[in-house]
Structure 1
Amino acid sequence: MTSRSSRPALLAACSTPPPPGTLPEMPPGVTAPDEYAFGDDVASRDLRASGPVHDVLVEEVDAEKLRNLPLVLEVDVDAATVRDAYADELVGRGWESMPDLPAGDDAWTQGWISADGRDALVLVGLEPEAGETHVPLTVLTTLPDEAAEGS
């Protein structure tokens, strides 16, 4: 049984935002597969969409820290909801939206840069084609991989 005096501390702990140098939580409908979850045709579309964004980012941030995090987005999830979830967390950390990111005809992009300009996180999502149940959601970021940091 929880005492009344411990409830405010519990609520504060649950609502404390993550540290500014960590990846945001993945919203519902987004998963991180153990390996790339798509075939060659989709991989080619993914590369055409994310390549130009990568090229822009290497001019803005430390290219050695920039990495590609391949995620999967279920097509029945509204992409705007996913973008909003990332935006809510990053803007809450003081990050600003990155305008004028390239996007191909069959892709969308949304990005943010940290207040100090050292870190960036950009989402590159493919528009689903007929019959696809999930599509790549590529995250280009300079934020560290917490799993690698802990090893």
Structure 2
Amino acid sequence: MSERAGAISDRLAGAVLLVVAVVAWWLSHDYTSGFGQTVGPGAFPRLVSVPLGLLSLYLIVRPGVNQRWPERSALLRQLSLLVLLMVYAGLIQPLGFLPTALLTVTLMIRLFGATWRQALPFGLLLTLGLYLLFEFALGMPLPDMPGLDW
């Protein structure tokens, strides 16, 4: 791949990641927390979106050279992962953390080559682990499922 094509691919990747960072930042403001909570569930997406946005701007302004595009299957897996994360961000508030995270984590595990038989139990374990970590260890309330009052 020529240097020009490498620079274009870096700029394209930077632009896509910048859109992801802006969407994550924007969607994180809709996440509500309990009364009196100083740090709510939107803090983590904002914390991740700031460096993602800065690094994507760096890719746009200072692209590298001599890159090569990944194979088609790897590229599709990467794009699927980005779409999946954006869908997660859009569904977490209306559906709640547990079902949205279970679906997202399980599909992510599948994207990396696991079978359904492997992905479902590990997706469940990871989802419950994340829930326990954020709710109890970090004290950050996560969006509940609609109609569910604990």
- TM-score (norm. length: structure 1): 0.24
Q: Which has the higher helix share?
A: 2
Greater Rg over alpha carbons, structure = 2
- TM-score (norm. length: structure 2): 0.24
